[in-house]
Amino acid sequence: MRRVLVANTKGGCGKTTLATNLAGYLAQLGHKIVLEDLDRQQSSASWLARRPAHVATVFNAEDLGKSALQKADWVIADSPGALSEKKISDAVAEADLVLVPIAPSAFDIGATQDFLALLAEEKAVRKHKTFVGLVGMRVMPRTHSAERLLTFMDESGFAVLSMLRSSQIYVTAAEEGLSIFELSNTLKEVDIAQWNPVTDWILQNS
């Protein structure tokens, strides 16, 4: 079992979007996927509840015992914005991979700077037991703010995986309990191409 933590102490940066889409992607490849919703808002859990019967199952950690959880191929944890330093430490130590979504605004970059500094200090990260990958979220291509976000990510010292554009298909997929990979919308090709480096990074670490 491999564990992916999706985290950033900045609220609304795209954690649930990243976690649910990754879960849907890996499930449709045939992997046994468990989604663990650590957020009191339970957005990931409500996405699971909306999932139609015809798509690959994603299990809710809440419904599984410890041994069933251990038998999963991947556990993907969606975390809340408000996470204490102690909880961050514990969650990072437990994870094989940490995905950090970052939205392109001065507020998001400012808040994420502190979070990345915390991550860099974590023993598991320093000892290369836990790997960190950054993903730009809700990016408007060819804007100054997209450029500023990319510069910030490049200078962080962490792996920069991709920049996912702002697209209504994320909103539609979320409403339907789907990942964008499971939508029958032909306009999603650009978005899927943007996901390739993220899914490659995840699978390389399996």
Residues found near ligand ATP in the complex (CB under 6 A): 11-17, 39, 41, 43, 81, 137-138, 164, 166-167, 170-171, 174
Please answer whether residues 14 and 103 qualify as being in contact, where contact means their C-beta atoms are separated by less than 8 angstroms: yes
CA-nearest of 54, 58, 74, 1 to 24 is 58
- Could you say which of Mg ion, ligand ATP, none residue 138 binds, taking C-beta under 5 to 8 angstroms by partner kind? ligand ATP
| CA 82 to each of CA 40, 85, 115: distance values in angstroms, whole numbers, following the listed order | 10, 10, 11
- Could you say which of Mg ion, ligand ATP, none residue 170 binds, taking C-beta under 5 to 8 angstroms by partner kind? ligand ATP
Among 3, 6, 8, 16, binds Mg ion (CB under 5 A): 16
Choose between 15 and 188: whose C-beta lies nearer to Mg ion: 15
Choose between 105 and 148: whose C-beta lies nearer to Mg ion: 105
43 touches Mg ion by CB under 5 A: yes
9 touches Mg ion by CB under 5 A: no
Stretch that binds Mg ion, among 14-22, 100-108, 125-133, 189-197 (CB under 5 A): 14-22
DSSP states of 174-188 as a string?
A: HHTT--GGG---GGG
54 phi, psi to nearest 5 deg: -80, -5
Which residues on adjacent β-strands are paired with residue 134? 100, 160
CA-nearest of 4, 12, 6, 5 to 111 is 12
Choose between 37 and 182: whose C-beta lies nearer to Mg ion: 37
17 touches Mg ion by CB under 5 A: no
Stretch that binds Mg ion, among 8-16, 56-64, 112-120, 186-194 (CB under 5 A): 8-16
10 touches Mg ion by CB under 5 A: no
- Could you say which of ligand ATP, Mg ion, none residue 17 binds, taking C-beta under 5 to 8 angstroms by partner kind? ligand ATP
101 phi, psi to nearest 5 deg: -80, 140
| CA 154 to each of CA 17, 46, 106, 127: distance values in angstroms, whole numbers, following the listed order | 22, 34, 16, 21
Instruction: Give the binding site for Mg ion (CB under 5 A).
Output: 15-16, 43
